[in-house]
Amino acid sequence: MGIQKFSAQRWRVRRNEEESWVALQGRNFWQVLEDSQEQLKNVASKYGRQYRDVTAVAKLAIARIWLLRQFPRLAERTYWEVLKKWAGDDYVLAGLAPYGIAVGKARQDEPEEAFAAFGTFLQTFRPGTTLDGLLSLTEEWRLKARVFRAFLLVGMGQREMALSELQAAEREGWQLAKGLQGKRQRRVKEALAKVRRWQAHLLDEIDRREEAKEVLLDTFVLLGDTMEGIKALDILAFLPSRRR
């Protein structure tokens, strides 16, 4: 159903026999979300008994739209439904649903519950694909979950613990990258560079600016072949002029 298009807020339209991308904003974007959500509900209802896989995918997409529409409680409820009814021994569904629950908790300003939910995700995480390739859970999701946990810790006033979480994410990222190749390795390296950039940002916030500079420089040296690694050099250039 093209859920990724919704999160990017862009849509493909056909004009004069040619297709192009347009940015969806305001009422148009929300209307697309509502219409797509109704289609997904119909899919889940019509094929639910015959094709359980289709229902699981549709329900995950519905939950994602609830998040985009700023209804995190409904999103969380839908993710719980996926976890209880369809996840079973499927470790991809059993990973995606808790991750969504954690995001829903965070959006409801329940940081401690969200932190615990991300912990559950990390404990049960296994990369792979499921439902005939319709869904995938790739290695960099572990790093994404740890970064989210770090944000939650910052919000709870625990910046040192947040830094430790990001450092743990970095160690994990390097270990993951060693055992991967091709696109999978590149995705992890992109996430790893982002983890290091957030480390530098946090170090700067707690008055450890020299360490922040060192992290940014090393990020460019080690991961300069990634887009996120290149951004580290841009941030380093503006770091001395940032206001406290």
**Torsion from C-alpha of 208, 213, 219, 222, nearest 10 degrees:** -120
Question: Given this structure, which CATH class describes domain 1-137?
Answer: mainly alpha
Q: Are 111 and 152 in contact (CB under 8 A)?
A: yes
What letter would DSSP give residue 81?
H
The reported pLDDT for the residue numbered 244 is: 46
Strand partners, 206: none
Give how far the C-alpha of residue 146 lies from the chain's centroid of Cα atoms, to the nearest Å. Answer: 10
Which residue ranges in the chain fall short of pLDDT 50?
1, 3-4, 6-8, 243-244
Q: Are 215 and 205 in contact (CB under 8 A)?
A: no
Let me know if 110 is exposed, middle or buried by CB neighbors in 10 A (0-12, 13-18, 19+): middle
The pTM assigned to this predicted structure is 0.82
